[in-house]
Amino acid sequence: MAELLRLTEVTRTVKLPDDSDLHILTGVDLSVSTGDHVGIIGRSGTGKSTLLNLLGLLDRPTTGVLEWAGKDVRSLSPRAAARIRGRDVGFVFQQFNLLPGRTALENVAAPLMYAPGRTFWNRRDIASAMLERVGLGARLHSMPESLSGGEQQRVAIARALVRGPSIVLADEPTGALDLETGAEVMALLDGVTHETGAALITITHDVAVAQMARQRFRLEAGKLLSLTEQPA
């Protein structure tokens, strides 16, 4: 398997209004390869969102090294980082973030609006096929407000996967769902990313969700602790 991401002693510190430093991440080490499913669990305020922003190339470490496909992200221009993010990273959020007033098909096709050539012209067919894949072939023309929470999250998953990303970052993907629906959505997300060969990184406060991953970590005191070494 090819290594996609490597974090080595990554820290993230932000300056507070009183000019003091808040140390959010204090030394994160992580390696993610194609096909991996990584679960990261942590309480509110432990830095999960900060770590997600780094993994998605939305932010950069204060110190340490974050490599994407062997390339240090510090050497990337903002435009180059945005290009990688747009091409190779899919995001799934707790609140779905679907476009109101747009059908399921239009929501999933939206990331392909800036795709090159044939992909752009075939975007509706590609989006339709992805919605079929997540079990929503009969809801292509439904508006988000007419879909259940589980169906909306399936649309969000289809949207995240439609460009064929190398990595899918799922931020509390079951947080707005009931227990049974959340389990179904996670099984779907795990299954579809496994089929496509994409790596899946799930960031959650839910132990049950994290336990579905093949690599499991707890984010604590600014570091990732392996759950094979620490009690859940």
CATH code, domain carrying 215: 3.40.50.300
Q: Which domain holds residue 162?
A: 3-226
- At 49-73, the pLDDT tens digits run 899 999 999 999 999 999 999 999 9
Contact 8, 71 (CB under 8 A): no
Assess if residue 231 is contained within a domain. Answer: no
Contact 203, 172 (CB under 8 A): yes
Assess if residue 232 is contained within a domain. Answer: no
Q: Alpha-carbon distance 38 to 86, whole Å? A: 21
Assess if residue 125 is contained within a domain. Answer: yes
Nearest to 168 by CA among 125, 197, 127: 197
User: What does the pLDDT read at residue 175?
Assistant: 86
Query: Token digits for 40?
Result: 């990261």
Query: What's the mean pLDDT when you consider all of the chain?
Result: 91
- At 201-228, the pLDDT tens digits run 999 988 888 888 999 999 998 999 998 6
* Continuous segment of H or E residues that includes residue 111: none
User: What does the pLDDT read at residue 232?
Assistant: 43
Assess if residue 123 is contained within a domain. Answer: yes
User: In the chain, which residues have pLDDT < 50?
Assistant: 230-232
Assess if residue 15 is contained within a domain. Answer: yes
Contact 201, 169 (CB under 8 A): yes
Assess if residue 103 is contained within a domain. Answer: yes
